[in-house]
Amino acid sequence: MSSKLAFQSLSGSEEFKYVLSGKKLSTPLFTIYYKEKKNDDKVNSIMLSCVAAKKLGNAVKRNKMRRRLKMATRKAITEIKKSFQTRFKYAIFAKPKIYDEKFQNIVDQLVIKFKSI
C-alpha cells in the first residue's frame, strides 16, 4: 500500500438519480447501486458515495455507520485492487445491521459483492 486511494464523491441529486437508475446488489448489511460512467467522467477515478438514511438513527449513529462503511470499502478495494471495476459509479446505502456488525464481516461482504460486479 504505497499510495492512498483517491475517491471522488458523487455530488448532486442528478448524479445520485443516475446511479440509482442502474443495477443493484443487496446484502443484509448494505445495498450497492452501480451504473456505467458517462464519457465525460474521469476514467481511472473511483466514484463512490456511502449513505446512511435518516431513518437509521440520530446523526451520531448515522455518521458512525457511514465512517465504518467508508473504511471497509477502502480496505475491500485495496484487497481486490486488480479486479475492482473503476468504469462504474457506486452508491452504497447502509442498513441498520451494519452498526453492530464486526468490521471484518463488512469488508468480506464488500469484497464478495465487488468481485461479482
Query: For position 44, what pLDDT does the model report?
Result: 73
Query: For position 92, what pLDDT does the model report?
Result: 95
pTM of the model: 0.87
d(CA 58, CA 96): 12
- The ranges assigned to domains in the chain are 7-109
| Beta strand ranges found along 4-112 (DSSP E) | 7-8, 23-26, 30-36, 46-51, 88-94
Cell triple for 54: 435518516
Note the CATH architecture for domain 7-109.
2-Layer Sandwich (3.30)
- Closest of 32, 43, 103 to residue 67, by C-alpha: 103
The pLDDT tens digits of the residues spanning 37-91 come to: 887 766 678 889 999 999 999 999 999 999 999 999 999 999 988 888 888 899 9
| Beta strand ranges found along the chain (DSSP E) | 7-8, 23-26, 30-36, 46-51, 88-94
Q: Which of 1-5, 55-59, 112-116 has the lowest mean pLDDT?
A: 1-5
> Residue 113 above 80 pLDDT?
yes
Task: Give backbone dihedrals phi and psi of 82, rounded to 5 degrees, phi first.
Answer: -70, -35
What type of residue is 30?
F
> Residue 102 above 90 pLDDT?
yes
Query: For position 1, what pLDDT does the model report?
Result: 40
